[in-house]
């Protein structure tokens, strides 16, 4: 029986190792891996000098629909994801209205059907109002789990008091992704703003201690309740080691590194980019960035995530602190990581583990995360050596800009296979939106 699609002559990264070979795909699944050049196929894609990795999973994106579609929507956000080699996304609940119940979750699933270019799941947000129902809500189809904002977000998505946090953690079993900043400290430090403020003050006003306090608190509550937690967008040099100490005490905790906290550092980033470099938690000092790299080298991080959080240039142009925090990143997630790989700072196998394998394991995403017979045929095919400059014209996000404009990357997404079909060929989309709802167990 011929394959539906045969990928030939590639460097293939599998759990068993990396080797030159072919991948045969039938019925949307990986049917064979090896030397298959004598096999027949309805379609063949020559991948000579290219590398095939499992479809990338971005576990933290904000696609702004419903309610904020002038910045981004599910179509444009997933299109940006696909063009960046991301085949599956997990989207956050701070939309308008917030995703806090079965009705708002189903609304997002309905909106994504037929419009999403990548596979999708949607977090439900914890609030003081829905805490008692979270154990049931996290098991709804299309939901990977419950997101906790310890620092302020839109609507009612703020759980900052200890008793409320404890109650949220006590209802449910899945890992909770955490935005860990101390709300009381952030509010108190607003009074320290200068008379002529600028974005350079952002990491001072939302300082390292805010992140450290919140991380310590959620780790203590995780240990008390037994609930696994996943600390997002680590920004300080101290937090990875605090988390590692908690692991040694039996706390079930994982954590995320973002490319931007590894790529940018203040004050240079703020002086050059202004509010375009503004995000929460902030881009911090060179010492913090160096500490994050040291932690990465020590294997203290579990996953990479983009924290794609777009705003329009008009919004970002407002004088600080009226300028909103957040930047686009889902499309540049892989180019930045591949550049780190080309620089020798991350091994290819480690990149795959943190951008595909561990994200799938963390949220029990069925059929995703590795190249193996029987797995879904979601594949990201990259040129590890191609140098190119990322320009504003490349941006697919509706916000229309990127903090990486003008940066030279080494490593490019050439083709993307989604559900066994070629969705991107030589950097161009070849199909209609074909993303599907992810299954979680």
- CATH code for position 311: 3.20.20.140
State yes or no: pLDDT of 154 exceeds 70: no
As given in the structure block, the two tokens for residue 386 are 């191609």
Asked, for residue 391, whether it belongs to a domain, the answer is no
- Domain membership of residue 25 as a residue range: 5-52+373-386+408-429
Cβ contact 238:208 at 8 Å: yes
| Rounded CA separation 74/120 (Å) | 10
Residues 32 and 66 in one domain: no
| Rounded CA separation 24/287 (Å) | 47
Q: Nearest CA to 29 among 417, 356, 426, 437?
A: 417
CA distances, 390 to each of 84, 175, 307 (Å): 12, 35, 19
Q: How many domains does the chain have?
A: 2
Residues 80 and 206 in one domain: yes
Residues 18 and 153 in one domain: no
The residues near 411 (Cβ < 8 Å, ≥ 6 apart) are: 334, 335, 337, 338, 339, 341, 342, 382, 383, 384, 385, 386
Where does residue 391 fall: left (phi above 0), alpha (psi -120 to 50 degrees), or beta otherwise?
beta
Asked, for residue 400, whether it belongs to a domain, the answer is no
Q: Which residue has the higher pLDDT, 21 or 431?
A: 21
Helix (H) or strand (E) holding 103: helix 102-112
pLDDT in tens, 411-425: 999 999 999 999 999
Q: How many CB atoms lie within 10 A of CB 350?
A: 18
Residues 30 and 102 in one domain: no
Cβ contact 113:77 at 8 Å: no
Half-sphere exposure in the Cβ direction for 254 (13 Å, CA): 18
Q: Nearest CA to 354 among 296, 410, 280?
A: 296
pLDDT in tens, 208-250: 999 999 999 999 999 999 999 999 999 999 999 999 999 999 9
Asked, for residue 438, whether it belongs to a domain, the answer is no
Mean pLDDT of 294-311: 98
DSSP bridge pairs for 285: 266
pLDDT in tens, 27-74: 999 999 999 988 999 999 999 999 999 999 999 999 999 999 999 999
Instruction: Give the confidence band of 155 by pLDDT, cuts at 50, 70, 90.
Output: low
> pTM score, two decimals?
0.98
Percent of the chain with pLDDT over 90: 97
Residues 10 and 147 in one domain: no
Residues 35 and 107 in one domain: no
Asked, for residue 194, whether it belongs to a domain, the answer is yes
Output Rg (C-alpha) for the chain, integer angstroms: 21
- The position carrying tokens 């490349």 is 394
Cβ contact 330:63 at 8 Å: no
Residues 47 and 76 in one domain: no
Asked, for residue 325, whether it belongs to a domain, the answer is yes
Residues 125 and 200 in one domain: yes
| Rounded CA separation 144/130 (Å) | 17
Cα separation of the two ends of the chain: 32
Asked, for residue 441, whether it belongs to a domain, the answer is no
Where does residue 406 fall: left (phi above 0), alpha (psi -120 to 50 degrees), or beta otherwise?
left
Q: What is the pLDDT at residue 179? A: 97
Instruction: Give the confidence band of 151 by pLDDT, cuts at 50, 70, 90.
Output: confident
pLDDT in tens, 371-400: 999 999 999 999 999 999 999 999 999 999
CATH number, residue 40: 2.30.40.10
As given in the structure block, the two tokens for residue 171 are 């209802």
Asked, for residue 164, whether it belongs to a domain, the answer is yes
Residues 377 and 303 in one domain: no
Residues 136 and 224 in one domain: yes
**Cα 349-352-353 angle, rounded to 5 deg:** 85
| Rounded CA separation 278/189 (Å) | 17
Residues 47 and 60 in one domain: no
Residues 77 and 160 in one domain: yes
Q: What is the pLDDT at residue 153? A: 63
DSSP state of 119: E
The residues near 322 (Cβ < 8 Å, ≥ 6 apart) are: none
Q: Nearest CA to 257 among 366, 194, 314, 340?
A: 340
Instruction: Give the confidence band of 156 by pLDDT, cuts at 50, 70, 90.
Output: confident
DSSP bridge pairs for 58: 89
Q: Nearest CA to 184 among 216, 138, 150, 234?
A: 150
As given in the structure block, the two tokens for residue 72 are 């981004």
CA distances, 259 to each of 57, 240, 344, 400, 403 (Å): 14, 16, 15, 19, 12
Asked, for residue 15, whether it belongs to a domain, the answer is yes
């Amino acid at each position: 029986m011929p394959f539906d699609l045969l990928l030939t002559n590639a460097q293939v990264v599998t759990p068993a190792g990396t080797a030159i070979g072919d991948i045969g795909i039938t019925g949307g699944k990986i049917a064979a891996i090896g030397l298959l050049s004598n096999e027949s196929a309805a379609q063949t894609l020559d991948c000579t000098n290219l590398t095939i990795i499992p479809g990338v999973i971005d576990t933290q994106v904000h696609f702004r629909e419903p309610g904020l579609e002038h910045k981004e929507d599910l179509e444009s956000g997933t299109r940006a994801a696909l063009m960046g080699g991301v085949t599956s996304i997990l989207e956050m609940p701070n939309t308008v209205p917030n995703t806090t119940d079965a009705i708002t979750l189903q609304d997002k699933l309905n909106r994504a059907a037929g419009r999403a270019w990548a596979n999708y799941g949607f977090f439900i947000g914890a609030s003081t109002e829905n805490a008692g129902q979270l154990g049931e809500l996290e098991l709804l189809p299309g939901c990977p789990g419950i997101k906790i904002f310890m620092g302020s977000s839109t609507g009612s998505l703020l759980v900052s008091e200890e008793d409320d946090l404890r109650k949220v953690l006590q209802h449910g079993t899945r890992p909770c992704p955490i935005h860990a900043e101390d709300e009381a400290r952030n509010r108190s430090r607003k009074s320290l703003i200068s008379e002529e403020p600028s974005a350079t003050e952002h990491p001072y006003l939302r300082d390292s201690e805010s992140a450290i306090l919140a991380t310590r608190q959620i780790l203590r509550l995780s240990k008390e309740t037994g609930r696994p937690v996943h600390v997002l967008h680590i920004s300080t040099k101290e937090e990875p080691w605090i988390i590692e100490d908690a692991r040694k005490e039996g706390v079930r905790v994982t954590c995320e590194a973002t490319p931007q906290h590894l790529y940018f550092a203040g004050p240079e980033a703020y002086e050059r980019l202004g509010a375009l470099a503004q995000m929460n938690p902030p881009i911090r000092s060179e010492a913090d960035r160096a500490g994050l790299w040291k932690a990465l080298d020590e294997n203290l991080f579990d996953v990479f995530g983009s924290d794609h959080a777009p705003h329009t240039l008009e919004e970002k142009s407002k004088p600080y602190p009226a300028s909103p925090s957040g930047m686009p990143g889902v499309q540049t997630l892989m180019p930045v990581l591949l550049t780190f790989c080309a620089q020798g700072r991350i091994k290819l196998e480690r990149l795959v583990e943190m951008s595909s394998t561990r994200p799938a394991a963390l949220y029990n995403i069925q059929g995703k995360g590795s190249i193996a017979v029987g797995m879904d045929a979601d594949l990201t095919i990259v040129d590890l050596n191609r140098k190119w400059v990322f320009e504003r014209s490349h941006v697919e996000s509706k916000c229309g800009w990127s903090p990486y404009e003008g940066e030279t990357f080494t490593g490019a997404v050439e083709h993307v296979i989604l559900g066994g079909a070629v969705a991107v060929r030589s950097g161009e989309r070849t199909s209609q939106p074909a993303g599907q709802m992810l299954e979680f167990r």
